[in-house]
Amino acid sequence: MPEQLPNFIAGQWQHSTAADTLAVDDPATAETLAEVPLSSTTEVDTAVQRATEALVDWRRTPVTERVQPLYRLKQLLAEEHEELARILTTECGKTLAESRGEIQRGIENVEVACGMPSLIQGYNNEDIARGIDEMMIRQPVGVVAAITPFNFPGMIPLWFLPYAIACGNTFILKPSEKVPLTMQRLFELIAKTGLPPGVAQLVHGAKATVEAILDHPGIRAVSFVGSSTVAAAVYRRAAANGKRVQCQGGAKNPIVVLPDADLEQAIPMIAESAFGCAGQRCLAASLAITVGDNREAFTEAIVDAASSRRVGHGLDDGTEMGPVITGESKARIEGLIDQGLRDGGRLLVDGRDARIASYEQGNFLRPTVLDNLAADSTVATTEVFGPVLSVSHAATIDEAIAIVNRRAFGNMACLFTGSGAAARQFRYEVEAGNIGINIGVAAPMAFFPFSGWKQSFFGDLHGQGRDAVQFYTEEKVVVERWG
Ligand code: NAD
C-alpha cells in the first residue's frame, strides 16, 4: 500500500484523520507514489492554533535570529538538491535538469529572505515639528497561509515561506494535492533547522482544506498561486473574510518576433519557452506572433525545433520533455488542439496521442505547432498549459502589440528583435507584468516581484522580493515627543 502522507503540525509529523485521500501518481508511469489526505477543517484549526501560540515568541525573536534557520535550510537544500530534484521529477514529470533548476530558484528565495535584517527596515524623520520625531516600523501580520499549484512544487512554496517567517509571521502551507512529495521532503529538512514548533506547518488537502483556510478567522493573510478561475474565487472569499490576499493566476503568454530578430538565437529560446516543462509553466510562450516577412523562416525553424524535441521519462538521460500532469490534462490539451483545427488552424507538428516505449501508461504528448489561427480564436486566447504553440501573423509591431494587449491575461510578453527602439516601444506599451526582450522565459529573480497583471493576478503586492516583505508586514507609524 502506498504511504499516506502525514501533516507537519507543531513540529511533529501527524497522521491525518481525514476520511478521504487521493492518489499521487507518477505522470510518466501511472504508478501510485503515495496517498494524500484531504485534511479537515478541524485539522486546519489545530494548525492555526499551534501557529497562533508559536507567534507569541516568534515575533519577539530578533530578526537576526529568525533568519538563522533559513541559513541552515539553504545549506540543507544545497546538500539535498539532487534528491529533491529526483522527487520533483517523479511526482511532476518534468526533466531532471528542469527540476534541478527549479530547486535552485527556490534556494535563491531562501537566500534573499536571509537578508531580512535589512529588508524589513522602516524609515524615520527627526523633527517633523520641533522636538517631534516620526518613524515607520514594520511588524509581522500574524498567522499566514499559502496555497500552491502543481507545476512548480519545489519553487513556488518558497516564494512565500522564507519571507513570511523571516518577517516574524507563522506560516501554514497547503501544497498541491497532485504533487505533495517535494514539500514533504522539504519539511523533513525544515524539521532539522531548529525552527521552533508551529512556525512553519504543512497541511495537505484540496478544495475543502483551502476553504477552511480562507474562512478561518485566525489566518490574517493568504497567498495563492494557481489557475485564474480559482485565483479569483480565492481572492474574493479571503478578502470578504477580511484577509490580506495575493493571488497569482493563469496565463497566455505571447512572443512577438520581428523581422530583424536573430532567429538562430531566438528559436531555441522560444522552443524552450513553449515546450519546456511540457508547456506547464505560467511563463510558457503559447502564442508566437511573427511580424512582416519572417513568417516562413520562423515557422520552418520552430517546426524543426518542435519535431526534434526528445520526449520521455524525466529521469532518463537525454529526455528534453516529460509528460503532462494527468490523463485529464492530456485529454483537455488534445481537445484544444482539435478545437484549433475546427477553427481553421493548420497542424504543422501534431503531438497528440504520443506513445513512449516502456511508458505506455504515461500522460505523454509531443510538442505541437498550430499555424494559421486567428489571434482571437479559442486556442490563441485560452491557457492550454501543455506543449502547444500557436502561430499568428501581424503586418506591423503596432498590430502585434494590439494583439498582445487584447489578451485577458498579463503574465508575460516577450519580443525578439535587434532594434532598441522596437524594444522600448514594446516595454512601454505592452500590458503584462513580466517582459522579456530577447528572452523566452522572463522569470523574475527572487529579489524582483513576480509581477503578473490583468487576469494573471488578483491583489496589489506580488510574490518575492520587496513586495513579499510589504505583504508580510504591517506598517506602523509612530510620532514621538520626549521632554
Ligand atoms: P489549480 O487552480 O487547479 O490549483 C491550485 C491550488 O488551488 C491547489 O493547491 C488546489 O488544491 C487548490 N484548488 C483547486 N481547486 C480549488 C477550488 N475550487 N477551490 C479552492 N482551492 C482549489 O491550479 P494547478 O492546476 O495546480 O496549477 C496550474 C495553474 O497555475 C495554471 O493556470 C498556471 O498558469 C498557474 N500558475 C500561475 C503562476 C503565476 O505565478 N501566475 C505560477 C504557477 C502556476
Q: pLDDT, tens digit, for every residue of 31-77?
A: 999 999 999 999 999 999 999 999 999 999 999 999 999 999 999 99
What does the alpha-carbon distance between residue 313 and residue 333 come to, in Å, rounded to a whole number?
A: 19
Q: Nine-digit cell at 14?
A: 501527524
Please compute the mean of the pLDDT values over residues 318-330 and round it to a whole number.
98
Instruction: Give the pLDDT confidence score for residue 1 in this predicted structure.
Output: 76
Q: Is 207 in the pocket of ligand 1 (CB under 6 A)?
A: yes
Q: What are phi and psi of 34, to 5 degrees?
A: -170, 170
CATH code for the part of the protein at 253-437: 3.40.309.10
Distant-in-sequence, close-in-space partners of 356: CB < 8 Å, separation ≥ 6: 311, 312, 313, 362, 364
Dihedral angle of Cα 214, 219, 222, 228, to the nearest 10 degrees? 0
Asked whether the beta carbons of 327 and 294 are under 8 A apart, the reply is no
Asked whether the beta carbons of 333 and 384 are under 8 A apart, the reply is yes
pLDDT tens, residue by residue, 77-118: 999 999 999 999 999 999 999 999 999 999 999 999 999 999
Mutate to test the pocket of ligand 1, among 174, 210, 252 (most ligand atoms within 8 A of CB): 210
Residue whose CA lies nearest to ligand 1 atom number 42: 282
Q: Is 177 in the pocket of ligand 1 (CB under 6 A)?
A: yes
Q: How far is the CA of 387 from the centre of ligand 1 (A)?
A: 18
Positions of E strands within 207-341? 221-225, 244-248, 253-257, 285-291
Q: Is the pLDDT reported for residue 363 higher than 90?
A: yes
pTM above 0.95, yes or no: yes
pLDDT tens, residue by residue, 179-237: 999 999 999 999 999 999 999 999 999 999 999 999 999 999 999 999 999 999 999 99
Dihedral angle of Cα 471, 121, 166, 213, to the nearest 10 degrees? -20
Residue extent(s) of CATH 3.40.605.10 domains in the chain:
7-249+456-481
Please compute the mean of the pLDDT values over residues 245-258 and round it to a whole number.
98
Residue 77, helix vs strand vs coil: helix
What does the alpha-carbon distance between residue 386 and residue 405 come to, in Å, rounded to a whole number?
A: 22
Helix axes 228-240, 207-215, angle to 10 degrees: 30
Residue whose CA lies nearest to ligand 1 atom number 36: 226
Q: How far is the CA of 113 from the centre of ligand 1 (A)?
A: 24
Residue extent(s) of CATH 3.40.309.10 domains in the chain:
253-437
What does the alpha-carbon distance between residue 456 and residue 298 come to, in Å, rounded to a whole number?
A: 28
Nearest atom, ligand 1, residue 174 CA: 9
Q: Sorting pLDDT into bands at 50, 70 and 90, what band is 353? A: confident
Nearest atom, ligand 1, residue 226 CA: 30
Q: Is the pLDDT reported for residue 405 higher than 80?
A: yes
- Is 167 a catalytic site residue? no
Asked whether the beta carbons of 310 and 319 are under 8 A apart, the reply is yes
Q: How far is the CA of 83 from the centre of ligand 1 (A)?
A: 25
Q: CATH class for domain 7-249+456-481?
A: alpha beta
Q: Is 250 in the pocket of ligand 1 (CB under 6 A)?
A: yes
Asked whether the beta carbons of 437 and 427 are under 8 A apart, the reply is yes
